[in-house]
């Protein structure tokens, strides 16, 4: 199957079945989203959503977070992964946000990445959701699923390479949606250790299924 056809089938399926995908992180402002995404690194959205209500109630805007101590922030996020580093990042992010950007969330990758705790992936999430920019944030789910489906070549061994491979073939209006589609598919169907190929509606054009699963099934027949 040609790559163009593979992408077409991917887009056809998700635009039909999940036309408006959204992040599973809970937030009510760009600031809250930025905090939640920083916290979500190597942690589940479910866990973050359990932590952020109390955190946002105590620090409802960048000003209050910038004035906080790392120790106090830590007391709210102890149950997330790497809480010590994330507490430092959150306070540092808020202080820089106030000093350089007057509390407004930056709208460029370069500016966002000057904030503590914000890498390219986090910046792209913010740009896509807050500013509707056609950016592709590549996390472990996007990386894994795009390779298994054959959307990204095996030679794309870095998040940046996968990002470029995907953006090159996905129309701009579907880039941010494709980010969510790949994440949700990886989270609930195309699992890292035990992918649920038997219930996956994408297996007809999935390279992983064709090479690793279908062959094994046929050998048993």
Mean pLDDT for 71-79 is 98
pTM for this predicted structure: 0.89
% of the chain exceeding 90 in pLDDT: 93
Binding-site positions: 190, 197, 200, 206
Domain 3-20+137-220 class, CATH top level: mainly alpha
Q: Is the predicted pLDDT of residue 154 greater than 80, yes or no?
A: yes
Q: Please identify every residue annotated as catalytic.
A: 121, 139
Q: Is the predicted pLDDT of residue 89 greater than 60, yes or no?
A: yes
Going by pLDDT thresholds of 50, 70 and 90, the confidence category of residue 212 is confident
- Please determine, looking at this structure, whether the domain spanning 30-130 carries the CATH number 1.10.340.30: yes
Dihedral sign for Cα atoms in the order 211, 7, 24, 157? positive
Beta carbons within 8 Å of 79's beta carbon, 6+ residues apart: 47, 50, 51
Give me 21's structure tokens. Answer: 């995908």
For residue 213, the model assigns a pLDDT of: 72
pLDDT in tens, 13-39: 999 999 999 999 999 999 999 999 999
Give me 27's structure tokens. Answer: 């937030």
pLDDT in tens, 159-181: 999 999 999 999 999 999 999 99
pLDDT in tens, 93-146: 999 999 999 999 999 999 999 999 999 999 999 999 999 899 999 999 999 999
For residue 215, the model assigns a pLDDT of: 57
pLDDT in tens, 185-207: 999 999 999 999 999 999 999 99
Binding-site positions for [4Fe-4S] cluster: 190, 197, 200, 206
For residue 216, the model assigns a pLDDT of: 56
For residue 58, the model assigns a pLDDT of: 98
How do the domains of the chain map onto residue ranges?
A: 3-20+137-220, 30-130
Lowest model confidence (mean pLDDT) among 49-53, 58-62, 150-154, 213-217: 213-217
Q: Is the predicted pLDDT of residue 219 greater than 60, yes or no?
A: no
What is d(CA 123, CA 157) in angstroms, rounded to the nearest whole number? 20
Q: Is the predicted pLDDT of residue 220 greater than 50, yes or no?
A: no
């Amino acid at each position: 199957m040609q790559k163009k056809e593979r992408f077409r089938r991917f887009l056809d399926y998700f635009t039909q079945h999940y036309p408006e995908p959204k992040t599973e992180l809970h937030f009510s402002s760009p600031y809250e989203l930025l905090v939640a995404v920083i916290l979500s690194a190597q942690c589940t959205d479910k866990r973050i959503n359990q932590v952020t209500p109390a955190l946002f109630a105590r620090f409802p805007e960048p000003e209050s977070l910038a004035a906080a101590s790392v120790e106090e922030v830590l007391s709210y996020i102890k149950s997330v992964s790497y809480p010590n580093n994330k507490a430092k990042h959150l306070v540092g992010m808020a202080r820089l946000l106030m000093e350089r950007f007057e509390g407004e969330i930056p709208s460029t990758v370069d500016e966002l990445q000057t904030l503590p705790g914000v890498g390219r992936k986090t910046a792209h999430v913010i740009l896509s959701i807050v500013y509707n920019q056609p950016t592709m944030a590549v996390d472990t789910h996007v990386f894994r699923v795009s390779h298994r489906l054959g959307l990204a070549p095996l030679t794309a061994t870095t998040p940046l390479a996968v990002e470029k491979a995907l953006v090159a073939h996905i129309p701009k209006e579907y880039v941010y949606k494709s980010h969510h589609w790949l994440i949700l598919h990886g989270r609930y169907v195309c699992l890292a250790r035990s992918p649920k190929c038997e219930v996956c509606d994408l297996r007809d054009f999935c390279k992983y299924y064709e090479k690793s699963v279908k062959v094994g099934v046929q050998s048993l027949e």
